[in-house]
Amino acid sequence: MRDNGPVTSATRRPETPASMVPTRLIATDLDGTLLRDDKSVSERTVAALAAAERAGIEVFFVTGRPARWMDVVSDHVHGHGLAICGNGAAVVDLHGGTGAHRFVKIRELAPDVALDVIQLLRAAAPGTAVAVERTYGLHLEPAYPALHMEPPESVAPAEKLLAEGALDADQPILKVLAYHPGMDPDDFLTVARLAIGDRAGVTRSSPSALLEISGPGVSKASTLALCCAERGISHEEVIAFGDMPNDVEMLTWAGRSYAMGNAHPAVIAAASGRTVANNEDGVAVVIERIVAERRA
């Protein structure tokens, strides 16, 4: 089923008619998608998530957020309690709430690859400042701005942050964040992808020129595919929701997918359908329809 007419993409899988394949899993981004702009989960959305669970549909939160920022939805996880964090770099069990999460799967970025990528990006976009996201904390360069909701664990040039003896060097690197003070966000993404090639995955989810760099082959889509394969769930049985470029691969992979009314143009091109904006509970609107169709 498509909303507001068909949207095509050169990489979009051929879609199986929804009536032929029952939904077994819902994969939804958080910021700009499931969450309203004030970062709340509306009562309507809470009710829709609960209805999906009662109908036997698993719900996976699939986000660029680190695990420690998942308190906003930890009360709403499905029975399995799992979420995909860090753009696919980690699968986390959120049972127990904030501070008690457990890493189930980690797809790390090797330190030598991270440093290589940073150097390539500096050469391609002078003025770039970076931060290193490890499993339990953020480490950043002195020029990296205060963009996040927590103080850094350490501040030093990237070469020191990635050295063998650095603070928390025993923790896996989930991603590198790269910020540019003057470039257009989409231009920065294009420059970075050209410079880095297949050495790492590069995407963005922020309205500012902030890139998120993961290990090669790591994305929301690839980790979601792994989780689905472990459950015997095919891509055709998945419905996905998103709003920013870091959702594109996931929306393309899923059997059905919805771009939010507030979505980036690349997301609209990748998704097979559209729903209303996050502030209008666009995810809940679709879930309610799916549950109603299942009851009919």
pLDDT of residue 97: 67
pLDDT of residue 136: 92
> Is 255's pLDDT higher than 70?
yes
Domain boundary among 169, 195, 214: 214
197 and 58 belong to one structural domain = no
Phi and psi at residue 101, to the nearest 5° = -70, 155
The residues, any chain, with a CB within 8 Å of residue 293's CB and separated by 6 or more, are none
Domain span at residue 35 reads 18-107+219-295
pLDDT of residue 10: 34
pLDDT of residue 218: 98
**pLDDT tier, 214 (very low <50, low <70, confident <90, very high otherwise):** very high
* CB atoms inside a 10 Å sphere around CB 54: 9
**pLDDT tier, 7 (very low <50, low <70, confident <90, very high otherwise):** very low
- Mind listing the pLDDT tens digit for each residue in 53-85? 999 999 999 999 998 889 888 877 766 788 999
Q: What is the CATH number of the domain that holds 62?
A: 3.40.50.1000
**Structure-model confidence comparison of residues 149 and 45, the more confident one:** 45
pLDDT of residue 276: 98
Domain boundary among 165, 190, 214: 214
User: Average pLDDT of 177-199?
Assistant: 98
Average pLDDT, the chain: 91
Q: Which residue spans within the chain are E strands per DSSP?
A: 25-28, 58-62, 82-85, 90-93, 102-106, 129-134, 137-140, 154-155, 173-179, 201-204, 210-214, 238-242, 256-259, 273-274
Specify if 11 maps to a domain.
Answer: no
Q: What is the CATH number of the domain that holds 131?
A: 3.30.1240.10
163 and 78 belong to one structural domain = no
Percent of the chain with pLDDT over 90: 82
**Pairing status of strand 238-242 against strand 25-28:** parallel
Specify if 248 maps to a domain.
Answer: yes
pLDDT of residue 75: 76
142 and 224 belong to one structural domain = no
Return the residue matching tokens 């410079």.
195
The residues, any chain, with a CB within 8 Å of residue 122's CB and separated by 6 or more, are 128
Rounded Cα distance between 210 and 64, Å, is: 12
pLDDT of residue 8: 30
Predicted TM-score of the model (pTM): 0.91
Domain total in the chain: 2
89 and 140 belong to one structural domain = no
